[in-house]
Structure 1
Amino acid sequence: MVLNVIWLVFFFGAFIACIVQWLAFGDTGIFNKAILGAFDMSKTAFEIALGLTGILSLWLGILKIGEKAGAVQILAKIVQPLFSRLFPEIPKGHPVVGTMLMNISANMLGLDNAATPMGLKAMKQLQDLNPNDDKTVASDSQIMFLVLNASGLTLIPVSIMTYRAQLGAANPSDVFLPLLLSTFFSTIAGIFALSFFQKIKLKDPVTVMWLGGISACVIAVMFYFSHLTAEALGTTSLFISGLVLFGVIVAFLGLACYKKVQAYEAFVEGAKEGFNTAVMIIPNLVAILVGVAVFRASGAMDLVMNGISALLGLIGVGNDVVPALPTALMKPLSGSGARGMMIDAMKNLGPDSFAGRLSCMFQGAADTTFYIIAVYFGSVGVKKTRHAVTCALIADAVGVIAAIVIAYIFFPPFH
């Protein structure tokens, strides 16, 4: 329901913006520009889904090996105490817990290509456990999993640091600690929002211990990386990412040999699911990305930006924030669009400017919420998202607000 309303707002808002530009500024080509934007993005959406096919096949094949060898079940047992409280619908020892853990871990390392196949696999497993008679209605577990993805907790923002280095930042890694803090607050906000809607008891001693332990780990990681040079941080980040991924593959294969599982046959069986999943994604991906493209091409996004800028001025937020806002507003709608706006802000204002750094924090503090909803729910036929959009946007909003506050602390603008 919510996603349907938002999608319609994209088109109606774009049409109104086109009329305003035609009548007020005589821009007769704006309607054609919006249509061309829709055509281009529909092609891009298909190419994205097509490009995911190989990655999906690879990782779903690896996951199938791990599932048959028992590796996923081992991971599930480790996090069972916490997940049994956050995901009470999931039976004890179910392999979906291990799949979700691998997805969340890949997201924390900034490994989007590895995280998406694992996430889609987990969503399919959660759909099999969906207790609703109407399987088009999202379950509590599916919503919790989606919001944890959308909150975007990131330990190592490799891509953002790479862009900053390419654009000449004096210290490309100086956004690492602020970004980690922002995404941490975003994730915690998402969990608290879900606890309200789903009546989750966060005061449970086990839950408190786990969340407190995770918080301590985040602080420890922050402390360790804060003492590394920019070069050492980049090298260490790449090393950890590669070690974790390759280590998972080898561990699964080793366990398969130990359990005498036919690894090759298991891989092929899982890889076949990659193609089917990619095909199911296409309609949902086209729908959401075309809506975003029309809204942007029509100039409606610029009108929204001007309005937000005026409102921020009324509550005392300085103009230093405004140039970075396009990244924050675009990120829940389009990852590539937000990336382009982040790069644009750094090019025009400098990578070490307040707005340049803040745009990087916005890029990492939120996730492509509507893309995740469209792809993850669309891959299993879920249409009624319930409170998923609300909680995901709460997490994104808290991440953005935290990014602004933390940016003023770490990078106070000079006038």
Structure 2
Amino acid sequence: MRRIAVVGAGQAGLQLALGLVAAGYQVTVVAARTPEQVRQGRVLSTQAMFGPALRIERAAGLNLWEERAPAVREVRGVLAAPPGVQALAFTMALDEPAQSVDQRIKFAAWLELLAERGGRVEYRTLDPAGLRELAERHELTVVAAGRGELAEVFARDRPRSPYDRPQRTLAGLYAHGVGSPDPAAEPRARMHAIPGAGELYLQPALTLSGPCSILLWGAVPGGPLDCFADRPAPGEQLDRIRAVLREFLPWEAELWGAAEPTDPGAALYGALTPTVRQPVARLGGGAGGECPALGIGDTLVVNDPLTGQGANSAARAAAHYLTAIVERGEAPFTADWMRQTFELFWQRHARHTVDFTRAMLELPEHLHAVFAAAAEHEQVARRLANTYAEPSDYAAWLATPELTAAYLASFAD
């Protein structure tokens, strides 16, 4: 039985570990926190899982909350220009419903499920020296530890990483009691763009205390929405949210009068620099000489949350790596195999998430035409919605002004 270690207990790491256990591998997961510590901690993300990623979870028997989590079939998009005025609005229909499950629920339950199914879990933190020691004891070590210290052992891929600083600062809140502008259309997500200031995304979700709403600000650094840097407690954050909504999105402010945070850990803050890293870390130094480790998920590809690709891309990466590992049979997990495994995933999926997210951050002129067309044509709005679910479609119609113009020409009168 081949021995594999997975460092990190998030979407990519736990999904891969559970898949490996089901395939008959001896799996050790190193997790920083126990299930109870995860449940009692702060929210981890504002995750929205689209249809393709949910299908992967469903096929693996990991969709434990499908009947309880709200099924989101539409996204209402609004362009607020100038601030406080709805200049453009459209509804985007998803071909498959999306869902959001608080990762405190998901990861805690998956850790427990892994132990039940025969996986080994070590609850501790690792530094690079500890990672090297772990890798020396396993035939393959996969690092799914997110953006922390261990990510730094993977070299930055400069040609694929055009940014050297965050493009947005982030502030999220899980809340109960948020109203709806159209109760008959619920559950529906809402997305607002405020040119020059940032974006607001609202989505129904399932949290520890039941159904809720998640709010996420993506603020242009130094702009008027960038007002949460001191990381206020959830109650204070909610007061500021109401004030910002009254100024920039007054129609949303009306819906937050009865809102309250879901729990003491309901607030989330951060700022991510979109980054791509080389897939192989050579840890070296042990009796066996150079000791490679393979990265996965946010360890290698960090996108701004604007397009909601993080958890979706992690799920796809875990499925891709699982197939590659099984197909490897008894052959050694060499550094060349690691690079080839990631490069195939990059070409099939990850590069599209990077390109799509960069376009949405920078909003080139031809995307303005897409939003205008989406307000007039249901088919355009639907295709835009489903590009979030399947980012590879970006290359077919959004990647260049010429592709977009050719597509939109079919809707001309």
Q: Under TM normalisation by the shorter chain, which class is it?
A: under 0.3
Larger helix proportion of the pair: 1
- Structure with bigger strand share is 2
- The alignment's TM-score, normalised by the length of structure 2, stands at 0.25
